[in-house]
A and B are shown apart, each in its own frame.
Chain A
């Protein structure tokens, strides 16, 4: 029977969630959009109200379902709901926003369990045009929250950058597999 796997793309409005999903989805992403009521912080005409959806069909018949969380804070109750049981979470940060460190802090707090389980990765966009805060400051923020998460400068308009983020997640999963194998071998040997 085909199994469904879930991958979450989280981030503020305009961080590139829809773009990232579109880069890898085999279907045109489905977006539920409404008028952007927060034009003071972002000039987009529309924003995702509930979520973006894309999918990839795997060779064994399983489905990889891609969900983009709504960016506006009033929908943040959905983040944890969507994150439950997910393969991993890709957190996208827009470094051109007023306080990207605070943005990351909120997402790390919401997905702390996922981060501790080595199932999260952070992509920070617009670093070429907005080099501050730099990556070191983002890492220091995570350290202050007793969390460690891979973070990278990316441009999600480039498919390779989206694949980089997913490849890191996959390597984290493979690392778990290898560590479990070694632990099992150790147990067997004892």
Chain B
């Protein structure tokens, strides 16, 4: 008998529990009647979920409306399975999970609940609506997010960006994003350095509504900023590889994006006059890796201007300010100290 292939994901489990579940899934590979592949996409065939998690409610609602995904509660001591018909107990045992996956496969093939076939066939739910030209053929997730940031739409739409199984959701017209997984530094690094092109699909109305409500979307530029700061090995983005003179169009919104101490020095320097790329570390007393991280973040947020030729008149020279240097630099240090701020690094 031919094996069918299905996708499975976890929802609402903490990182430790998710790791254990994924380990067991790897362990039982070949033991189930069908083939099960783990994905981080929310739109899997089956979700193993914490019955009390907010995202579980979205999954259940989608199942009730469309027959997918099949929801399996992973129950810890004291938890009840709520409205879910399938459940396993934590700690997860291989035999129990094999049984529930085999049963769930039957339900996926022969749904018990009413499935609205017109809903099922609607391209809006399956994401088969054509992807607009300006969003196509993007090689990196940053390129795709920048394309979303530039788009101006009045119509509501939600998109799923899938990169190696890691999913980011983008919402229009708000130009916000959300993720069902925590975007820590390692995950950001993985997203920023992925070599595979991201896959883009439209997200159906019920899921989109639920995601908007449950995941608290944030402006896209916050994700772009953090992707820029977390490029692998702090290398300069390819787009900046030939940059000779660099200028910042405006200060980044540190009130919302956050800032490291070095970022203030970079912004104060680069908003005044264009600077040669190689001169910035010496002018600010900061290491090249910090300079590159900042420039990457600014480039992704469309805050940089740069030329690929040296402009002999543009660098910081001949700018005469009538300042008493020794008085002011000492005074700023004293004021920072009085206000309880860190003193600027020398």
Contact = CB atoms under 8 A, between A and B. Distances in A.
B121 interface: no
Nearest to A175: B268
A182 B317 CA distance: 8
Contact of A182 (B267, B316, B337): B316
Interface residues of A, number: 42
A8 to B, nearest CB: 15
Contacts of A127: 256
A64 to B, nearest CB: 6
Nearest to B264: A171
A114 to B, nearest CB: 15
Interface residues of B, number: 37
Contacts of A6: none
A176 B323 contact: yes
A38 interface: no
A113 interface: no
Interface string B247-271: 0001101111001000011011101
Interface string A148-190: 1011111000000101101110111111111111111010000
B321 interface: yes
Contacts of A28: none
B253 A152 contact: yes
Interface in A7-26: 24
Contacts of A150: 250-251, 267, 271
A5, A151, A163, A179, most chain B CB atoms within 10 A: A179
A58 B251 contact: no
Nearest to A128: B256
Contact of A56 (B268, B271, B338, B344): B338
A5, A64, A152, A177, most chain B CB atoms within 10 A: A177
Interface stretch (B45-53, B197-205, B328-336): B328-336
Interface string A53-64: 000111110101
A179 B272 contact: yes
Interface string B187-225: 000000000000000000000000000000000000000
Given A58-B338, A175-B265, A180-B320, 12 more contacts: A5-B335, A148-B271, A150-B250, A150-B251, A168-B251, A170-B332, A170-B336, A171-B344, A179-B319, A182-B317, A183-B320, A186-B317
28 contacts: A5-B331, A58-B334, A58-B335, A59-B337, A123-B255, A127-B256, A148-B271, A150-B251, A150-B267, A152-B254, A152-B255, A153-B255, A154-B255, A164-B254, A167-B336, A171-B267, A171-B268, A174-B265, A174-B268, A174-B328, A174-B344, A178-B283, A179-B316, A180-B321, A180-B322, A181-B325, A183-B317, A183-B320
